Amino acid sequence: METEKIIGLFKTVTSDAVIEIALVIAVSVAIIWLSQKLFPWLAEHLHGKQRLFVLAMIPTLRVVVFVLATIWIVPMVIETTVQNMIAILGAAGLAIGFAMKDYASSLIAGIVAVYELPYRPGDWIEVDGTYGEVKHIGMRAVELVTPDDTVVFVPHLKLWTGLIHNANNGGPSLMCVTSFYLTADHDAHQVKQLLEDVALTSPYVQLKQPITVVISEQPWGTHYRLKAYPIDPRQQFQFMTDLTARGKARLRAIEVKFANLSPEHAVPVNP
């Protein structure tokens, strides 16, 4: 009796329907596969907003194709009455709840991520202390590549409870903070002006964005934080290297002394 009920949920699937389902799945997979090859290739030739827009299309397109394929296939297999749908969703929910809770939660978070946009391909994010560029947003996990070229897979599940730090939030503006540590006895205004010029004359700097210097006095000396934006977020490390190298050269020329702490006196400073 139970078996008959379960069988009653499904339609009789003809060979034509099987071919159609196979075709829909094949075309969907092909579109998703193509989008994952074509869009990153196209994005490599673009810069700034255009590049980020093209990259952001990849997960969106995948969800759209997935939903359309599901809407197409399900009525071909299942008698779509309210009663049947409740029965199937209930059974599926039970199975997922016991066996695949985390996996299903990641999948749903992946869909949420597509419209809530906590991260997009091309964004620079930090999750649980891991910082890197979002290279790929999969169904279950997001793929980060760290500055040291290590790939880190972060399940979308983190979206529910973890803190996601997004440095550029879908745009090309990413602030870089470069620190300089000097002994306390010097002309702070002169150093501030000099550091602003160091940023202004960097070939990497985005001139449309502001350049600021924040000074704070510490027990060991003076901490300067030079804040500026590179033209492209991918240049952030070369930009900070350029600022540090040229900043040091200029500071040496005006003969200010760099703070030089022994390890036992070093205090951690938040970047």
- Residue 198 binds another protein (CB under 8 A): yes
User: Which amino acid does the sequence have at 124?
Assistant: W
How far apart are CB 61 and another protein at their closest, in Å?
21
How far apart are CB 135 and another protein at their closest, in Å?
20
**What are the tokens at 250?**
């200029």
Q: Which of 17, 20, 48, 166 binds another protein (CB under 8 A)?
A: 48
For residue 242, count other CB atoms closer than 10 A to its CB: 20
> CB-wise, 46 or 74, nearer to another protein?
46
By CB under 8 A, the residues from 234 to 253 that bind another protein are 235, 238, 242, 245-246, 250, 253
For residue 232, count other CB atoms closer than 10 A to its CB: 17
For residue 256, count other CB atoms closer than 10 A to its CB: 19
User: Which amino acid does the sequence have at 166?
Assistant: N
CA 263 – CA 58 distance, rounded (Å) = 47
Q: Which stretch binds another protein (CB under 8 A): 134-142, 146-154, 179-187, 191-199?
A: 191-199
Please answer whether residues 62 and 34 qualify as being in contact, where contact means their C-beta atoms are separated by less than 8 angstroms: no
CA 210 – CA 200 distance, rounded (Å) = 10
- For 162: left if phi > 0, alpha if psi spans -120 to 50, otherwise beta; the answer is beta
Q: Which of 144, 182, 226, 231 binds another protein (CB under 8 A)?
A: 231
Q: Which stretch binds another protein (CB under 8 A): 69-77, 131-139, 196-204, 255-263?
A: 196-204
For residues 251 to 270, the per-residue mask of contacts with another protein, x marking binding by CB under 8 A and - elsewhere, is --x-----------------
- Residue 47 binds another protein (CB under 8 A): yes
Q: Which of 206, 213, 224, 236 binds another protein (CB under 8 A)?
A: 206
By CB under 8 A, the residues from 82 to 121 that bind another protein are none
Taking alpha carbons only, the member of 241, 261, 249 closest to residue 184 is 261
> CB-wise, 84 or 238, nearer to another protein?
238
Q: Which of 197, 220, 227, 259 binds another protein (CB under 8 A)?
A: 197
**What are the tokens at 264?**
């036992």
Taking alpha carbons only, the member of 165, 170, 160, 107 closest to residue 138 is 107
Residues that bind another protein (CB under 8 A): 45-48, 50, 172, 194, 197-198, 200-201, 203-204, 206-208, 231-232, 235, 238, 242, 245-246, 250, 253
